[in-house]
């Protein structure tokens, strides 16, 4: 929005402009256009990410929300309210902490936020009783800092690289809050996104799967083996091993599979 300076009216501005030669007005108009174009690209260019793949950067914990008895959401502030984390799809970050013995430990994590969330990023962490990094997150308080390095990861996603994806996820990746987001995606894009939950101890009124992910569940809910599909899997080591065995048995070649 353009605002006139104090004590200046549109009539007085019009009179001033009428005194300027047309050639000068043209030059002024061109200059204003160039300034507008420069301003557009300045404010619309993709902001630089806040990560560094070569060194750790400290991010301040501004909010810690307990989601269950052993799972919490951690919100970290970025350098500026307009900053983005700068994490490509399929990549992760490395977090550094101190375990219960006072020794340094590093672990990979994937934020549940995207670069469309400016000024902050969030992690959802399941804290295991004997987990070394779990101890660090369990002891963290608002105002503490977390050293983070990234982006990291072997998967570099490119639009159109696969006709369809199947995703097998287990552990803390499926939290109550994130489940709501998945359900919203499935409702908004019914022909492109489908979700199916499996619980090893389901409640009485449960219409999802029970036990563990089986070959039959993969066959029913994932795209069939083909050169233009990819199955992504992420979970505890035992789950990843079991899923690989199922996928191999169903005919998914190694190039069709990716383990985070």
| pLDDT tens digits along 75-118 | 999 999 999 999 988 889 999 999 999 999 999 998 989 888 99
Q: In this predicted model, what pLDDT tens digit does every residue of 140-151 receive, in sequence order?
A: 999 999 999 999
35 has pLDDT over 50: no
Instruction: Give 154's pLDDT tier (boundaries 50, 70, 90).
Output: confident
Same domain, residue pair 80 and 20: no
Domain hosting 117: range is 57-152
User: Which single residue is written with the structure tokens 């430990």?
Assistant: 105
**Domain termination residue (choose one: 152, 181, 213):** 152
39 has pLDDT over 80: no
Split into its structural domains, the chain has a count of: 3
Q: Identify the CATH number of the domain in which residue 141 sits.
A: 2.40.30.10
Q: In this predicted model, what pLDDT tens digit does every residue of 168-185 receive, in sequence order?
A: 988 754 554 567 888 899
| Cα separation values, 101 from 131, 135, 144, 216, Å | 12, 10, 19, 44
Report the predicted TM-score, pTM, of the whole model to 2 decimal places. Answer: 0.68
Q: Is residue 51 domain-resident? A: no
Lookup: tokens for 155: 């998967």
Same domain, residue pair 64 and 90: yes
Contacts of 166 (CB under 8 A, 6+ apart): 218, 221, 222, 223, 229, 230, 231, 232
43 has pLDDT over 50: no
Output 225 or 46, whichever has higher pLDDT.
225
- What percent of the chain has pLDDT above 70? 80
Same domain, residue pair 173 and 132: no
Mean pLDDT, the chain, whole residue set: 83
**Domain termination residue (choose one: 152, 180, 210):** 152
Arithmetic mean of pLDDT, 127-131: 91
Q: Is residue 5 domain-resident? A: no
Task: Give the largest Cα separation in the chain, rounded.
Answer: 84
pLDDT at res. 234: 85
Q: Is residue 110 domain-resident? A: yes
Per DSSP, helices labelled H in the chain are 10-18, 22-44, 132-139, 176-188, 215-221, 237-249
pLDDT at res. 42: 43
């Amino acid at each position: 929005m353009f605002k006139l300076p104090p004590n200046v009216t549109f009539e007085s501005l019009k009179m001033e402009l009428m005194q300027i030669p047309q050639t000068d007005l043209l030059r002024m108009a061109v200059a204003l256009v160039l300034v507008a174009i420069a301003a557009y690209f300045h404010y619309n260019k993709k902001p630089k990410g806040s990560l560094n793949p070569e060194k750790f950067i400290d991010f301040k914990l501004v909010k810690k929300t307990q989601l269950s008895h052993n799972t919490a959401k951690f919100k970290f502030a970025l350098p500026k309210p307009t900053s983005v984390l700068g994490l490509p799809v399929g990549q992760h970050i490395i977090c550094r902490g101190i375990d219960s013995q006072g020794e340094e430990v590093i672990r990979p994590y994937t934020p549940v936020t995207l670069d469309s969330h400016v000024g902050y990023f969030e992690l959802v962490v399941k804290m295991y009783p004997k987990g070394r990094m779990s101890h660090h997150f369990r002891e963290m308080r608002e105002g503490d800092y977390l050293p983070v390095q990234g982006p990291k990861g072997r998967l570099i996603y490119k639009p159109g690289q696969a006709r369809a994806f199947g995703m097998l996820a287990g552990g803390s990746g499926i939290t109550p809050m994130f489940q709501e987001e998945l359900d919203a995606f499935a409702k908004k894009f019914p022909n492109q996104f489908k979700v199916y939950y499996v619980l090893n101890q389901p409640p009485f009124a449960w219409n999802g799967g029970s036990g563990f992910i089986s070959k039959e569940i993969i066959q029913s809910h994932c795209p069939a083996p083909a050169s233009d599909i990819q199955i992504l899997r992420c979970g505890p080591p035992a789950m990843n091993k079991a899923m690989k065995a199922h996928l191999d048995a169903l005919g998914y070649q190694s190039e069709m599979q990716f383990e985070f």
